[in-house]
Amino acid sequence: MLQLQAKERAQSEEIAELKTTVQLLIEQLNLSKSKRFSSQSEKVAKGTFNEAEQQHALPKVNKSKAKTGRKPLPEALEREVYLHELSAPCCECCQTPLHECGKEVSEELKIIPQKVSVIRHERTKYTCRQCEKT
C-alpha cells in the first residue's frame, strides 16, 4: 500500500513537471512566432489620427497620370534603319492589292564597344479595302 502511494506521488510529481515543461515550451514557441511574424519596424501604426480632420486640413491636389513606358532614345545617336515591306502586297482571300495604312516603329539600342547606335525597324502595315467592304 505504501509502495502504491509512493508510486502515485512520483507519477503526480512527474506529471506536474511535464506540465510545466510543456507550458514553458509553449511560451517559447509563442515568443518565437511573435518575433518572426510580428511587424519589424517601430513605426506608429496607421489610423492613429482622426481621418476627418486630416482630409479637411490638406488641400486637394489633382494628380494627372504620368506617362508610363520607356523614354525615347536620344536623337543624337546614329541610327540604322531597316525597312520591312512585302514585295507584292495582295490579299490572300480575294487577291486584290493591299494599300498601306500605317507603320509600326520600334527601336532597340545596339552597343558595340566604343560605339553606340540605334537600330530602327519600320514594318509597313497593310489592309485590303475589298475585304473591309465585305
CA dist 32 and 113 (Å) reads 54
100-124 residue pLDDT tens: 888 888 888 888 888 888 889 999 9
CA distances from 11 to 5, 19, 25 (A): 10, 12, 21
Cell triple for 88: 507584292
- Angle (nearest 5°) at CA 39 between 36 and 42: 125
- The whole-number pLDDT of residue 72 equals 85
Cell triple for 108: 532597340
Count of Cβ atoms closer than 10 Å to residue 16 Cβ:
10
52-95 residue pLDDT tens: 555 555 555 566 677 778 788 888 888 888 988 888 888 888 88
Cell triple for 37: 511574424
* pLDDT band at 51; cut points 50, 70, 90: low
- pLDDT tops 60 at residue 49: no
- Angle (nearest 5°) at CA 72 between 66 and 77: 155
Task: Tell me the whole-structure pTM to 2 decimals.
Answer: 0.37
